[in-house]
């Protein structure tokens, strides 16, 4: 059985019953009853958190006062605390939350954008490196020696890391590099997640964004009731996720989340500082050692940050504390969120609207000119760079047209041969068909060889296509997943952000710089 990808079928009717709200139903999200979360405790925790970060500005104070309104709602986006804000799509997510909050905001029902810093994450490889591209088209690879397996919020920021990153940015051919370094250094302090959050808040706080770290002590304490419910019934939510997986398979879809026997939806930070998935055998919990339920409840009481949700629980735990009406998600996140509706029911929380995030590819002037010259789009190039390059070279040389004409003549010839052979002996039809496939295949392979030869001979054109690769597929990765937003901050200053904020929420678009 060939299973379909969920992320590419988010709007199909056969998945509709997995969601509380239909895709794009902003009116339904806005009309949802107000959540009964403890807004006062939430605001107190956020105020203390931003005092620690040094980001409690008058704009943020105003946003926090609006969050205390009994009818307030939030639009939530989030990501791991990547180096220099991680890939550019991290900023795009945050901007989308801002755009949606502005669209839904009312005086009697304030809607605020929240950015969730996934500081409990322990996969250092995902957050320790990034790429930038300067005006000389040099790709700058930056990386830090973060310890693997340790939650990011436990990693103290080292001054030499900040110095190394700052010096590297200052070596870029980028006119706003000093502004970028100022943001990096102003945000330095505390732990690795604080550094990320400080940069995000200083970049987007004046636009209304509120960064949120669930591991900050006064905020972590708010999640204890939901985590305690999971500890009381540790296999209930994994079973519901597996039930949804079975239903998706029956419909022909590949489920994103699976839960092995005994796996819970919780991680525990052990006494050795490493974060491990908790397993339950019906009597005891297993992580770095055996734990009783009473021991874990005691851990939760005295240090709630040591017990954290897995991917199959994190959105639900989030929405027990935040009055969420929209979750801004990437394609992969949308796929696994499909399986979480019944986990929301388990915790008596209304599933918010799931919203596909803003997706932007930046087109700098040289890239715009090359795309325009060849009449192609950035997305077309990113989806098939080799095939499109060959096609364009053959097309421009005139060889493609000649091959198409000759192939047409061959097809006509084999049609005539097939008609004649059938009249002689019907069994010859298959032989003619196989001969046709071999000959046409040879001609098509010859066409591709000529394209490669043209690429080698046409140095100028090859350079143009390589330029497209450098900008649109750096290191073979689509631009917004590969390059840090600091690429465009250091090169163009505030202009890219101003452009982003003019886009409609959820746009999937190129952006000319």
Whole-angstrom Cα distance, residue 49 to residue 324?
A: 20
Q: Catalogue the E-assigned strands of 199-296.
A: 210-212, 253-254, 263-269, 275-280, 285-286, 290-291
Give the pLDDT score at 408. 65
Q: Hey, what are 134's tokens?
A: 């300067």
Q: Which two tokens stand for residue 272?
A: 């050795």
pLDDT at residue 464 in the model: 84
Question: Dihedral angle at the C-alpha atoms of 128, 191, 78, 175, nearest 10 degrees?
Answer: -60
- DSSP H/E element including 356: strand 353-356
**pLDDT, tens digit (0-9, with 9 covering 90-100), for 80-137:** 999 999 999 999 999 999 999 999 999 999 999 999 999 999 888 899 999 999 999 9
Residue 65 to residues 47, 58, 377, 478, 486, Cα–Cα distance (Å): 10, 11, 45, 40, 31
**Across-strand partners of 266?**
309
Q: Cα(210)–Cα(75) distance, rounded to whole angstroms?
A: 10
Q: Using DSSP, state whether 380 is helix, strand or coil.
A: helix
- Report CA-CA distances (Å) from 172 to 90, 133, 356, 489: 22, 8, 33, 12
Burial class from Cβ neighbours inside 10 Å (0-12, 13-18, 19+) for residue 294 reads exposed
What pLDDT, on the 0 to 100 scale, is given for residue 402?
58
Q: Which residue has the tokens 């010096």?
A: 167
User: Helices 428-457 and 459-472: crossing angle, nearest 10°?
Assistant: 90
CB 120 within 8 A of CB 275: yes
SS3 of 76-106: the string is EEEECCCHHHCEHHHHHHHHHHHHHHHHHCC
Structure tokens at 28: 């339904």
The pairing of strands 111-117 and 263-269 is unpaired
CB atoms within 10 A of CB 437: 11
Q: Which residues of the chain have pLDDT under 70?
A: 1-3, 6-13, 393-437, 439-444, 446-462
Q: What is the pLDDT of residues 259-277, one digit of tens each?
A: 889 999 999 998 888 999 9
3-state DSSP assignment of residue 288: coil
Tell me which DSSP letter residue 461 carries: H
Q: Note the pLDDT of residue 46.
A: 98
Q: Contact at 8 Å (CB) between 53 and 194?
A: yes
Structure token digits, residue 509: 């678009």
Q: Give the model's pLDDT for residue 344.
A: 94
How far does CA 395 lie from the centroid of its chain?
36
> What is the C-alpha separation between 405 and 368, in angstroms, rounded?
32
| Spatial distance between the Cα atoms of 421 and 417, rounded to a whole number of angstroms | 6
Q: What is the pTM of this model?
A: 0.86
- Kindly list the distances between the CA atom of residue 440 and the CA atoms of 22, 426, 445, 446, 464, in Å, as whole numbers in the listed order: 47, 22, 9, 10, 31
Look at residue 14 in the predicted model and tell me its pLDDT.
Answer: 77
User: CB of 203 within 8 A of CB of 170?
Assistant: no
Residue 146: DSSP 8-state: P
Per the CB < 8 A criterion, the answer to whether 113 and 211 are in contact is no
The Cα–Cα gap between 148 and 3 comes to 34
Whole-angstrom distance, CA of residue 460 vs CA of residue 159: 45
- The pLDDT value given to residue 386: 81
**Phi, psi at residue 164, to the nearest 5°?**
-60, -45
Strands, E assignment, 45-174: 73-79, 111-117, 129-133, 139-143
* 177-186 vs 192-204: helix crossing angle, rounded to 10: 130
């Amino acid at each position: 059985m060939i299973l379909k990808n969920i992320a590419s079928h988010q709007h199909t009717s056969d998945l509709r019953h997995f969601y509380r709200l239909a895709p794009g139903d902003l009116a339904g999200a806005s009309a949802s009853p107000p959540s009964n979360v403890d807004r006062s405790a939430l605001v107190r925790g956020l105020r203390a958190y931003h005092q620690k970060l040094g980001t409690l500005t008058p704009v943020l104070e105003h946003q926090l006062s609006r969050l205390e309104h009994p009818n307030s709602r939030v639009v939530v986006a989030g990501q791991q605390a990547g180096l220099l804000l991680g890939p550019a799509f991290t900023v795009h997510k945050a901007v989308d939350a801002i755009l949606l909050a502005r669209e839904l905001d009312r005086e009697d029902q304030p809607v605020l954008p929240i950015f969730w810093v996934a500081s409990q994450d322990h996969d250092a490889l995902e957050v320790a490196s990034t790429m930038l591209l300067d005006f000389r088209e040099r790709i700058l690879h930056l990386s830090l020696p973060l310890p693997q397996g340790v939650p990011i919020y436990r990693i103290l920021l080292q001054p030499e890391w900040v110095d190394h990153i700052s010096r590297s940015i200052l070596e870029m051919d980028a006119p706003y590099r000093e502004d970028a370094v100022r943001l990096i250094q102003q945000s330095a302090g505390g732990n690795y997640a604080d550094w990320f959050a400080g940069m995000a808040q200083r970049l987007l706080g004046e636009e209304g964004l509120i960064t949120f770290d669930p591991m900050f002590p006064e905020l972590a304490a708010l999640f204890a009731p939901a985590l305690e419910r999971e500890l009381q019934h540790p296999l209930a939510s994994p079973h519901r996720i597996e039930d949804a997986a079975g239903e998706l398979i029956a419909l022909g879809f590949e489920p994103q989340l699976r839960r092995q026997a005994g796996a819970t939806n919780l991680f525990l930070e052990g006494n050795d500082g490493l974060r491990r998935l908790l397993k339950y055998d019906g009597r005891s919990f297993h992580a770095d050692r055996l734990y009783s339920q009473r021991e874990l409840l005691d851990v939760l009481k005295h240090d709630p940050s040591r017990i954290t949700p897995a991917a199959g629980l994190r959105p639900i735990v989030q929405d027990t504390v935040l009055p969420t009406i929209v979750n801004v998600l990437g394609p992969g996140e949308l796929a696994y969120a499909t399986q979480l509706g019944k986990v929301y029911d388990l915790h008596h929380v209304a599933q918010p609207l799931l919203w596909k995030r803003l997706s932007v590819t930046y087109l700098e002037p040289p890239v715009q000119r090359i795309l325009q010259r060849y009449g192609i789009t950035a997305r077309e190039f990113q989806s098939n760079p080799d095939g499109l390059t060959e096609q364009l070279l053959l097309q421009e040389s005139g060889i493609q047209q000649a091959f198409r004409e000759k192939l047409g003549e061959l097809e006509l010839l084999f049609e005539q041969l097939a008609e004649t052979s059938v009249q002689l002996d019907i069994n010859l039809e298959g032989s003619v068909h196989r001969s046709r496939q071999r000959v046409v295949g040879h001609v098509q392979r010859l066409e591709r060889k000529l394209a490669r030869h043209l690429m080698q001979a046409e140095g100028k054109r090859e350079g143009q296509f390589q330029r497209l690769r450098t900008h649109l597929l750096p290191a073979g990765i689509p631009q917004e997943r590969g390059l840090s937003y600091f690429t465009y901050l250091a090169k163009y200053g505030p202009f890219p952000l101003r452009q982003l904020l003019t886009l409609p929420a959820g746009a999937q678009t190129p952006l000319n710089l």
